[in-house]
Structure 1
Amino acid sequence: MTTQPRRFTILLVPEHVEDRGGASVEDSAVRSAVVEATGEMGASGYPRYAGHGIVADIDPSTRTIEAMLVDGAELDYGLTALVTS
């Protein structure tokens, strides 16, 4: 039996940052959100997580975001979404 994580933290990080000046990825994020499992499967076929304006289908085994909406819209160009925990 495989148990899926109940929550993840998602960071939205600008892609264009070349040198963070020693700052961590977490410190470079323009937005972060803790998303929790909704108990539903998303259209992508992966478990759906939601919280703080973000809805994401996440593959829990690889921590890959398969689909995501931020405040009801697709992710803005120039931003990368990362799963940290």
Structure 2
Amino acid sequence: MTTEPQRFEVLIVPEHAEGHDPGTLSEVALRSALVAATGETGASGYPRFAGEGIVADIDPATRTVEALLIDGSEIDYGLSARVREVGR
């Protein structure tokens, strides 16, 4: 049984929201999606998660998004991705 998270919520937020508490980021998020582990490792070397048009390589230990595609495209400048764990 793995102890790594299997699902995350990815929140796409303006860069100026970086300091906000992850619990309240949904208030300023421009987009959010629930992503689940695919069982694959991405090009970044981290586990790949996908869902609702978002594919992300996420470091489960630090909750850092290492690579991200939104509807097949890279994220726009001025935006950042944050994650929070959701139920297993």
Offset at 1:56?
Answer: 0.4
Q: Which runs of 5+ in 2 are unaligned?
A: none
Over the aligned positions, Cα root-mean-square deviation in angstroms equals 1.7
- Counterpart of 1:34 in structure 2 is 34
C-alpha change, 1:16 and 1:62, in structure 2 (3 Å) is closer
Larger Rg: 1
Q: How do residues 2-81 of structure 1 correspond to structure 2 at under 5 angstroms?
A: 3-16=3-16, 24-81=24-81
The total of aligned residue pairs comes to 80
Report the residue type matching 2:30 in the other structure: V
Quick one: distance in 2 between partners of 1:81 and 1:31?
10
> What is the TM-score when the length of structure 2 is the normalising length?
0.82
- Shift >3 Å, 4+ stretches: none
Q: Deviations over 1:28-52 (max 9, x none)?
A: 1010001000000001111000000
Q: In structure 2, the residue corresponding to 1:84 is in which secondary structure? A: strand
Instruction: Give the Cα separation in 2 of the matches to 1:29 and 1:2.
Output: 30
| Rounded Cα–Cα distance in structure 1 between residues aligned with 2:25 and 2:5 | 22
Structure 1: runs of 5 or more not aligned? none
TM-score by length of 1: 0.85
Q: Percent identity?
A: 65
